[in-house]
Amino acid sequence: MTSIFVRYFIKLFIICFLVFYPQTSFCKKTYEEKRESMVQWQIKDRGIDDKTILDAMSTVPRHLFVPKLYRSAAYSDRPLPIGYGQTISQPYIVALMTEFLKLEKDDKVLEVGTGSGYQASILSEITDSVYTIEIVEKLYDRTDKMLKTSGYEKIHTKCADGYFGWEEFAPFEAIIVTCAAEFVPPPLIAQLKIGGRMCIPVGPLFSVQNLLLITKKSETDIETKVITSVRFVPLVRE
């Protein structure tokens, strides 16, 4: 009889150990450790070796840009919901799009689709002149407040339809669009500097799109290359 109880308690102990031990802070990775793993396995190992981008991805605390509910998954290899039906992109896509912009320290870059502010913060680790536009007012308010209180106050933000770009500060050396358009918005081409690069997902909404790299060779000559297939939330119009 006693041995049945002993065996029962041993089994119970083993089950409790297996269930609860992985959740103790002792064996949990810190956010810094998760971030370093993310940079190694998701970014470097997939061929992105630009040091400024790797440093930026190692610096920006991605977990602060996702809702509390998803913090533990902030460094996983996928996009995550950020509220209002929108998503923060997969870390690799953020790094890949940034790489294609070939940013220099003095470049002025425009982002269409601020969302959580994560991509804008990565850009601001590389250049001081980041302009970002968000169309959803409540998301804009939340992110703007967050950026202003977490060390990213130098990012210029605006709540508007990014289809029209940001004329006042044009031309831009680089433009990044983080929502999918059915065609490349002409005002964005117009606001790109000659020699400038634009990275934009183009294709049918709510489906697979082509991530395009557009280089403005002259006022009349645009070079377009397909980078890869992606799935972004749509660029909506006012």
Catalytic positions = 89
The binding site for ligand SAH (CB under 6 A) comprises 82, 86-89, 112-113, 115-116, 118-119, 133-136, 139, 161-163, 178-179, 233, 235-237
Distances, alpha carbon 153 to alpha carbons 112, 144, 175, 230, 236, in Å: 18, 9, 20, 30, 26
Rounded to a whole number, what is the distance in angstroms from the first to the last CA of the chain? Answer: 75
- d(C-alpha 155, C-alpha 131), whole Å: 6
Question: How far, in whole angstroms, is CA 53 from its chain's centroid?
Answer: 12
| Nearest by Cα to 48 from 82, 113, 98 | 98
> Which CB atom, from 219 or from 238, has the smaller least distance to ligand SAH?
238
> Which CB atom, from 62 or from 108, has the smaller least distance to ligand SAH?
62
Surface-to-core class of residue 198, CB atoms within 10 Å of its CB (0-12 exposed, 13-18 middle, 19+ buried): buried
- Smallest gap, in angstroms, from Cβ of residue 102 to ligand SAH? 19
> Which CB atom, from 93 or from 214, has the smaller least distance to ligand SAH?
93
Q: Where are the alpha helices (DSSP H) in the chain?
A: 2-20, 31-37, 51-59, 91-101, 118-126, 137-149, 186-190
> Which CB atom, from 64 or from 222, has the smaller least distance to ligand SAH?
64
